[in-house]
Amino acid sequence: MGINKNLISKFKRIIVKLSSSIIVKSQGKVNTAVLKNLISEIAGLQKTKEIIMVSSGAIGLGKILLKIMHPKDMIEKQVLASVGQPNLMQIYKDLFSKYRINVGQMLVTKYDLDDSRRFDRFRLALLRLLDHKIIPIINENDSVAVEEIKLSDNDILSSEIALKLHADLLIILTTVDGMYKDLNNPELGIIKHARRFEDFKNVIISDQKSTFGTGGFNSKKRVVNRMLMDNIPTVIANGNEPKIIKKILSKRYGSWFFSGSLD
């Protein structure tokens, strides 16, 4: 049974967040085949929807390029981000150019989002990008962000963008099928649809982080709880799955967090 078509029609502004584990394989290589498939889907969506991307991966790419898998301090992380970010954007530029779609880089810190004047300028620029059918690709500005002004990870950033830009849907793509009912017993499967925090508050999930990323599933748990409170439909799904976005929108794939009905 698929998701209600009337609900799909209401998804005008969609945030797609890609985790570092989607951008970079565990072997330290760019996940080119998966990215090609995802960009193909996003390009198709952009014909009728407003698409905003939040992409991790700058530090992960920096690790590959500089061969520094374990940065020793914040400054070294900033160096990795500085080297990796232009390479991340080059990957997106090359992939989207096949569809004659331009992309725009937007780097932010927590301060940019919290300060009303700075955020208003950011918002206006982002909306102008959308007017020109350019896909904004947002990342935290890790090359300048210090601990005091960091957002913690891009799951948090994607939720901030979804809330402040009044998105209709947030899609978080990672390397698991969704939020497991019980991490110790994955054979029980994932939560298909949670309407309230009580539906998953007792789920014990790992906060393990990959070599190339900073986000964990406890972070995602906090994000989806916040999205539920503001009634913004949110999906956690496996970005490695072929045609994943089509499956999300047509077959209720992944873990949906939404207080309303999907039928």
The enclosing domain of 144 has a CATH number of 3.40.1160.10
Contact criterion met (CB below 8 Å) for 248 and 237: yes
As for how many domains the chain has, the answer is 1
Q: Please state which of the ranges 4-13, 204-213, 236-245 shows the lowest mean pLDDT.
A: 204-213
Cα distances from 256 to residues 81, 93, 120, 144, 166, in angstroms, run 32, 30, 30, 34, 18
Of 93-97, 191-195, 212-216, the range with the lowest mean pLDDT is 212-216
Give tens-digit pLDDT for 3-57.
667 777 889 999 999 999 999 987 778 999 999 999 999 999 999 999 999 999 9
Is 82 inside any structural domain?
A: yes
Residue 41 within any structural domain of the chain: yes
- Percent of the chain at pLDDT above 70? 88
Summarised one tens digit per residue, pLDDT across range 164-206 is 999 999 999 998 888 888 767 777 888 899 898 777 766 655 5
Per-residue pLDDT band at 212 (split at 50, 70, 90) = very low
Q: Is residue 214 part of a domain?
A: yes
Range(s) of the domain holding residue 227: 5-257
Q: How confident is the model at residue 213 (pLDDT cuts 50, 70, 90)?
A: very low
Are the CB atoms for 136 and 201 separated by under 8 Å? no
How would residue 237 be classed by pLDDT, with cut points 50, 70 and 90? Answer: very high
Decide if 87 is inside a domain: yes
Residue 262 lies in a domain: no
pLDDT digits (tens, 9 = 90+) for 116-167: 999 999 999 999 999 999 999 999 987 776 554 466 688 999 999 999 999 9
> Would 37 be classed as within a structural domain?
yes
Give me the helices (H) in the chain, please.
Answer: 5-9, 20-23, 32-45, 58-66, 74-97, 110-114, 116-131, 154-164, 217-229, 244-251
Residue at 263 is within a domain: no
pLDDT at residue 202, as a whole number: 66
